[in-house]
Amino acid sequence: MRKRTLGQTGPAVGALGLGAMGMTSGVYGISDRAESIATVHAALDAGLTLIDTGDHYGAGHNEMLLAEALRGRPRESYLLSVKFGALLAPGGGFLGQDSRPAAVKNFLIHSMTRLGVDYVDIFRPARLDPDVPIEDTVGAIKEMIEAGYVRHVGLSEVGAKTIRRACAVHPVADLQIEYSLISRGVEADVLPTLRELGVGMTAYGVLSRGLISGHWKNAAAQPGDNRSRMPRFSGDNVEHNLALVEALRRVAEAKGCTVAQLAIAWVAAQGDDIIPLVGARTRNRLKEALPAAHLTLSADDLAEIEKAVPAGSAHGDRYPAAMMANLGAGN
């Protein structure tokens, strides 16, 4: 696995990262714990070193799953990116974000305990807290870096103004944000700002939650799979979006790869400062994704992809309206 560096100050990591969110039941339907652990092992064995999780994934169960999967592995052989601060209610429901300095430290000790580690490689607020200046939040993470409990500052789903303010307090390794062929909002302002400031990007949703994987079928959601609530998977939107996938499939077939491989490789081709996160829940899906790290796209390939899936061609937002309002991408 080739490596890329997260920005000017971040660590060197495998050219693909592993997103663990889907390994926790209740996000995309029922998950198989044993298969999830086997997938983590297979990812590490293949040279993926960056693993992304969040303290709210499965209300902490995602971190405990990773602790089991990573047990016995040398700590220096993997890097943990942890999002913190998303507030959940019993029975489900998002209550907001808590990024107060005291909360930062509290969330950190609980994450380290669940993960079974004595430091976190990248620590980032899951969303922007409108009630807490980003300077205060980053300042608290900086204190934890100085104390040896964190290695790098990260951000998640924020806009150019917030990135600049955060960097004024401490160097930021990377911004985690959704980026795919059908989610290209970062290109106008956020991505140029990251490059100006020397901040990397970890791109999640590179397959738009499976929609552009080449495997999704309309009405494929299972009980407990919350994709059915997302506008891109609903009504006429999903039919339109799957037609885009079929156009992309024709390009993939001509290239001799799968749709998923082409979509992942497209994200990676947008710059060496971008690390696509692969949300594989099974070894089969991981095995399919891995060749994307070595798939080279020519200018002609990129032009054909653009014809198949032009910017802005997808129908429907990536989240429901209430969740879109909490992203903070304009700040």
| Burial letters 176-186, b for 16+ CB under 10 A, else e | bbbbbbbbbbb
Domain boundaries, the chain: 3-324
Residue 149 has pLDDT above 70, yes or no: yes
Q: Residue 9: its pLDDT value, please?
A: 94
Rounded Cα distance between 221 and 28, Å, is: 8
Exactly one of 28, 57, 78, 179 is catalytic; name it.
57
Mean pLDDT within 179-204: 97
Average pLDDT, the chain: 93
Question: Quick one: pLDDT band at residue 330, thresholds 50, 70, 90?
Answer: low
Rounded Cα distance between 123 and 26, Å, is: 24
Question: Quick one: pLDDT band at residue 45, thresholds 50, 70, 90?
Answer: very high
Q: At 282, phi and psi to the nearest 5? A: -135, 160
Rounded Cα distance between 76 and 287, Å, is: 24
Give yes or no: 319 in active site: no
Q: In Å, how far are 33, 98, 130 from 163, measured between CA atoms?
A: 36, 18, 14
- CATH (residue range 3-324): 3.20.20.100
Q: In Å, how far are 52, 59, 103, 109, 295 from 87, measured between CA atoms?
A: 18, 9, 11, 16, 39
* Closest residue by Cα to residue 260 from 249, 275, 272, 247: 249
Q: Exposure of 151 by Cβ count < 10 A (0-12 exposed, 13-18 middle, 19+ buried)?
A: middle
The half-sphere exposure of 33 on its side-chain side, counting CA atoms within 13 A, is 9
Spell out the residues 6+ positions from residue 83 whose beta carbon is closer than 8 angstroms to its own: 52, 53, 54, 55, 56, 124, 125, 126, 156, 176
The half-sphere exposure of 61 on its side-chain side, counting CA atoms within 13 A, is 12
Angle value at C-alpha 331, between 327 and 328, nearest 5 degrees:
10
Contacts by 308-313, CB closer than 8 A, 24 or more apart? 308/244, 308/247, 308/248, 308/250, 308/251, 309/181, 309/182, 309/212, 309/244, 309/247, 309/248, 311/184, 311/187, 312/184, 313/182, 313/244
Looking at the chain, the whole-number percentage of residues with pLDDT higher than 90 is 83
pLDDT digits 0-9 by tens, 211-242: 999 998 765 556 566 777 788 888 889 899 99
Q: Could you tell me if 157 and 117 are in contact, meaning their C-beta atoms sit under 8 angstroms apart? A: no
- Helix (H), strand (E) at residue 94: strand 94-97
Q: Residue 233: its pLDDT value, please?
A: 85
Question: Quick one: pLDDT band at residue 60, thresholds 50, 70, 90?
Answer: very high
Rounded Cα distance between 31 and 24, Å, is: 6
pLDDT digits 0-9 by tens, 267-280: 999 999 999 999 99
Residue type at 212 in one-letter notation:
I
The half-sphere exposure of 326 on its side-chain side, counting CA atoms within 13 A, is 16
Question: Quick one: pLDDT band at residue 146, thresholds 50, 70, 90?
Answer: very high
